[in-house]
């Protein structure tokens, strides 16, 4: 038996679901996807699971999201409230983009890019753990390959939600991955080392030796980087990417990332190769919005925006 609940959310404008969810355009609909104007993902709420489907029935300046929750169990008011909280977090619905836009309005390239990507709020992960696992998976491989592996992780190790004879999967919890063998984790397409790194982090969380969610309260970015960097298999790049997508910390710039250096070069250096130090120097003008600005550049490149 299936249960459903529908309600609406008014995000803080400007907001474009189409731009923000574009990254999920080729995603596995049984894990997380965006197709035909509908975003969907399994969320854990109050110990249960719901399949959340979002559509935008408003405009960028007056966004209005319709949310459908589907579950195999009755959807309680607490379930609904937790789902609302998770959705707001994933899409930063309460974040005022206007502050960011004003801070970078004197940047010639960003100003033109923002005009075409108006309302884009970079999506974050529901938990810091998911962001950490994603960052480990993405070490030294393409994003396309990494996304396939991340979806395989969800299908193989994530909790299952059955809706009308169709199975959907949540991203695996630390306990799911702590109880899996290294060889099983490796079986989704990971190297043995990456499987060990993920399993180790998951076990530390389950054993109470690591609290990633607590890092959201830490105001010192360097302290968080140091704590993450101390984990086996996690360097500065992985730590910064985890912070950017999982906490999120928009003041962090993973300048060692080849893709980020490439887009900065494309829009500010005529496309010539640049080093991390030069990327950081250019990013100084973006103040505390370095990470968000970088993702605007990435989406601009994906969409072929020229300035």
Q: Which domains, from first to last, does the chain contain?
A: 3-94 (3.30.310.20), 95-123+248-307 (1.10.1670.40), 128-159+171-245 (1.10.340.30)
**pLDDT bucket at 47, cuts 50 / 70 / 90:** confident
Q: How far apart are CA 175 and CA 167, in angstroms?
A: 21
pTM assigned to the model: 0.96
pLDDT tens string 201-218: 999 999 999 999 999 999
Q: How far apart are CA 27 and CA 264, in angstroms?
A: 27
Q: How far apart are CA 73 and CA 82, in angstroms?
A: 15
Of 130, 12, 125, 108, the residue nearest 60 (C-alpha) = 12
Average of per-residue pLDDT across 271-281: 96
pLDDT tens string 124-158: 999 999 999 999 999 999 999 999 999 999 999 99
C-beta separation of 53 from 68 below 8 A: yes
Average of per-residue pLDDT across 264-291: 97
The answer, yes or no, to whether residue 184 has pLDDT greater than 90, is: yes
Look over the chain and give the mean of its residue pLDDT values, rounded to a whole number. 97
- pLDDT the model gives residue 216: 95
Average of per-residue pLDDT across 177-206: 98
Q: How far apart are CA 74 and CA 301, in angstroms?
A: 44
Structure tokens at 10: 């008014």
Helix axes 276-283, 258-268, angle to 10 degrees: 60
Q: How far apart are CA 28 and CA 36, in angstroms?
A: 14
C-beta separation of 297 from 289 below 8 A: no
- pLDDT the model gives residue 1: 73
């Amino acid at each position: 038996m299936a249960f459903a609940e529908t309600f609406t959310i008014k995000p803080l404008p400007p907001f474009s679901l189409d731009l923000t969810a574009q990254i999920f355009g080729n995603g596995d609909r049984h894990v997380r996807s965006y197709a035909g104007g509908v975003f969907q993902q399994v969320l854990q709420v109050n110990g249960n699971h719901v399949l959340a489907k979002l559509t935008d029935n408003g405009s960028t300046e007056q966004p209005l999201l319709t949310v459908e929750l589907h579950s195999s169990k009755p959807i309680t008011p607490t379930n609904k409230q937790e789902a609302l909280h998770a959705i707001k977090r994933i899409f930063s619905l309460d974040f005022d983009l206007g502050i960011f836009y004003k801070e970078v309005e004197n940047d010639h390239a960003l100003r033109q890019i923002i005009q075409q990507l108006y309302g884009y709020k970079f999506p974050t992960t529901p938990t810091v753990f998911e962001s950490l696992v994603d960052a480990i998976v993405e070490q030294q491989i393409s994003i396309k390959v990494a996304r396939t592996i991340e979806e395989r992780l969800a299908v193989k190790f994530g909790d299952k939600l059955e809706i009308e004879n169709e199975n959907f999967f949540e991203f695996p919890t630390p306990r799911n991955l702590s109880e899996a063998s290294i060889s099983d984790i490796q079986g989704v397409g990971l190297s043995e080392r990456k499987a060990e790194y993920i399993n180790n982090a998951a076990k530390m969380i389950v054993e109470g030796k690591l609290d990633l969610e607590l890092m959201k309260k830490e105001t010192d970015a360097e302290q968080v980087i140091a704590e993450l960097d101390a984990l086996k298999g996690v360097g500065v790049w992985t730590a910064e990417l985890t912070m950017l997508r999982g906490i999120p910390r928009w003041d962090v710039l993973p300048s060692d990332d080849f893709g980020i250096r490439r887009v900065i070069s494309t829009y500010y250096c005529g496309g010539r190769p640049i080093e991390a130090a030069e990327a950081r120097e250019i990013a100084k003008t973006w103040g505390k919005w370095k990470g968000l600005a970088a993702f605007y550049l990435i989406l601009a490149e994906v969409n072929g925006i020229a300035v």
